[in-house]
Amino acid sequence: MSRLLAFVSICLLSASGLAIEPPREKERWTTLTIDELTVYSSADDATTRSIASDLVRLRGALSVVTKLKVRSPLPTRVYIFGDQRSFEQYSEAAIGRSDKLTGVFLSDLEGNHVLIAGNAAGVDRVVYHELTHYFLRNTVSSHVPLWFNEGLAEFYSTFSGSKDFVDVGRPLEEHLAWLRTQTLIPLKDLFAVTQDSKEYHEGNRQGVFYAESWALVHYLMIGNPDRRTQLGTYVGLIASGKTIDDAFHMAFHGSYDDLERELRKYIRAFSMSYTRYTLADLMTVAIPAPQPLPRDTQLVALADLLMHANSGHFAEAESFLNAALKANPSSAEAYAELGVAKSWQRQNAEAEVAFEKAVQLGSRDALPYILYGDSILRRVEAGVRHNAAVPPDDVAKARDLFRKAAELNPASAAAFAGLGATYTMSGTDDPRPGIEALERSIDLAPAEVDAIYNLIMLDARAGRRDDAMKYLDALSRLSGAETVRHARENVYVADLHQASKLLRAGKHEEATAIMKRVAEETTDEEVKAKVEEQLASVLRADAANHQLSDFQLAVNKASDGKFKEALAMIDKLLPSIAEPEMLAAANDFRAKLIESMAATTPKKKK
């Protein structure tokens, strides 16, 4: 987005000079939970329930109207601040100082953190914008066109609700005013815009890009019922790998110029409509009453927010956690969060001590178990890089931690991904439980590259080459060429293990076919050289065995007194023999054949 409150990517290890003090001990905080949405609030109960209701209604609209998958496996934590001063203090920590700010949206691989000024008139529309992005990513793992991604987010950013209904798609007057005075981007060019395009970054054209993308989505969603179905078809075709042009023509059944003329007419129209839904249409859930939040839990929640801020306020977060432990020395969640803080600062030994304490105290949060397991696996991997053996006890402990995390949160893709990763550490473990865990992880988070990479490795190890290649194709759409190359080389390593098994079973023809393919396809020159050397050795051995077999047949012929046939066979065989001992034996045998033939040939009478 070009406006304030753009999606914030986290840089956890940067520093900040802003100091934030823990809330006063008597400050009232409440909480409520709806599915994966947890609200922490210092606002009054009416404001807390109203904001929670708006967020849940948006989720319902996205689910019913646009069919997005809104039940996320990752948590969304919403912080509602009862006064502007408190909101500004935390929002400045999150993204730096900005004026006229009433909402902030932070997102990373662990979920979302949303900051809302409870004294403002409703939820800032940028929160709705970014939640739409999040739910779209949660629904469509593959690439979606940028114009649709931003246009849909802007379409839902004007979401508004009242006691009995909600409105979706209210017009954005600033976008309409902009479009009526600016030159539009040709639709063929709009559809081709990527995050590297100048239209997405350069001042005036960026404004046109957002406004035109919004207007096109608005037209396709509301302005023309026939086009709405075509929009869904178009996005589906793009997700399936069709090119921009092919998907456009297959879905919209016309030219870019045709659709652009329709859009221009729509923009010039006197007014735009929007859609109103009743609460029954959206099937929204009831909002529970906010409950008092214990001080230690309040401080842990705010520490978690500070650590996810753009500048990673670890010193302040740790002071909050120490205060939480003072309030409740047996707070498993405070120790867990302290472990997270130490882990993200790469203080791994201290992190593991805190995680161990959280585990002993029976933390009910999956995250410390996941990060503890990750820390152990990182230690193991570091040792392996320095040629150390894999410690089986460490791998077993990490595996138990990930299993516990999966029990605590069966919707945690990270827990199942970590569990699967433990099976890549040893070539002697049965890979099937690891495969099951990684498949579950990918079901929950289809675009996680590490899980796909490890699944390729285990599928290849288990001899499930077709499955490995299917995931390799998925990986190629999500990751860089070098990652894909390494994954493919893992498949080749498994192929070579299979070839070795076939050789031991005497199935040389099948084994050499695999080896030839690997030698042709691998990009690792060292592997290629070794495979070619081994292949040449196998082929020489096979040739020698065939020659030995033919030699034996010639000997058998001679034993039967069929010397001429034996001689013909040995003369045919001799030019192909390279092994010196066999060559000497064959020549010696030939000489004896000639002697035998001479001795048995009747002499002519004079």
Instruction: Write out pLDDT tens, residues 309-353.
Output: 877 789 999 999 999 999 999 999 999 999 999 988 989 899 999
Q: What confidence tens digit (pLDDT) does each residue in 12-30 have?
A: 333 444 578 889 888 999 9
- Residues 64, 194 within the same domain: no
Please report whether residue 345 resides in a domain: no
Evaluated on CA atoms 168, 130, 68, 39, the torsion sign reads negative
> How far apart (Å, rounded) are the C-alpha atoms in residues 171 and 181?
17
Backbone angles phi, psi at 242, to 5 degrees: -70, 150
548-558 burial, b for 16+ CB within 10 Å, e for fewer? Answer: eebbeebeebb
- Three-state DSSP class for 38? strand
> How far apart (Å, rounded) are the C-alpha atoms in residues 199 and 522?
40
161 pairs with which residues across the strands?
A: 166
- Residues 125, 222 within the same domain: no
* Listed residue (68, 137, 77, 148) closest to 106, CA to CA: 77
| Reported pTM | 0.71
346-365 burial, b for 16+ CB within 10 Å, e for fewer? Answer: eebeebbebbebbbebebeb
What is the pLDDT, as a whole number, of residue 300? 96
Boundaries of domain holding 592: 542-600
User: Which two structure tokens, joined as six digits, stand for 59?
Assistant: 């989720």
Q: Are 80 and 298 in contact (CB under 8 A)?
A: no
What is the pLDDT, as a whole number, of residue 255? 92
- 540-546: long-range contacts, CB 8 A cutoff, minimum separation 24: 540/578, 542/508, 542/512, 543/576, 543/578, 544/579, 544/582
When mean pLDDT is compared across 452-466, 482-496, 590-604, the lowest value belongs to 590-604
What is the pLDDT, as a whole number, of residue 142? 58
- Confidence category of residue 6, pLDDT binned at 50, 70, 90: very low
> DSSP strand E in 289-406: where?
291-292
- Confidence category of residue 297, pLDDT binned at 50, 70, 90: very high
117 pairs with which residues across the strands?
A: 81
Numbers of helices and strands, H then E, in the chain: 26, 9
What is the pLDDT, as a whole number, of residue 206? 67
Residue 281: partners with Cβ closer than 8 Å, 6 or more residues away = 64
**What's the rounded mean pLDDT across residues 98-120?**
85
Please report whether residue 494 resides in a domain: no
Range with the largest mean pLDDT of 131-135, 325-329, 387-391, 468-472? 325-329
Nearest-Å Rg of the Cα atoms of the chain is 34
> How far apart (Å, rounded) are the C-alpha atoms in residues 471 and 448?
12
pLDDT averaged over every residue in the chain: 86
Please report whether residue 10 resides in a domain: yes
Q: How many domains does the chain have?
A: 3
- Residues 51, 127 within the same domain: yes
- Residues 63, 26 within the same domain: yes
Q: What percent of the chain has pLDDT over 70?
A: 94
Choose one of 273, 303, 325: the last residue of a domain: 273
- Sheet of strand 160-161, all strands in order from the earlier edge strand to the far edge: 160-161, 165-168, 275-278
- Residues 254, 128 within the same domain: no
Please report whether residue 391 resides in a domain: no
What is the pLDDT, as a whole number, of residue 15? 40
Q: Are 144 and 238 in contact (CB under 8 A)?
A: yes
- Residues 129, 193 within the same domain: no
User: Which two structure tokens, joined as six digits, stand for 35?
Assistant: 């599915």
> How far apart (Å, rounded) are the C-alpha atoms in residues 120 and 103?
9
Q: Is the pLDDT of residue 386 over 50?
A: yes
- The residue that leads in pLDDT, 201 or 527, is 527
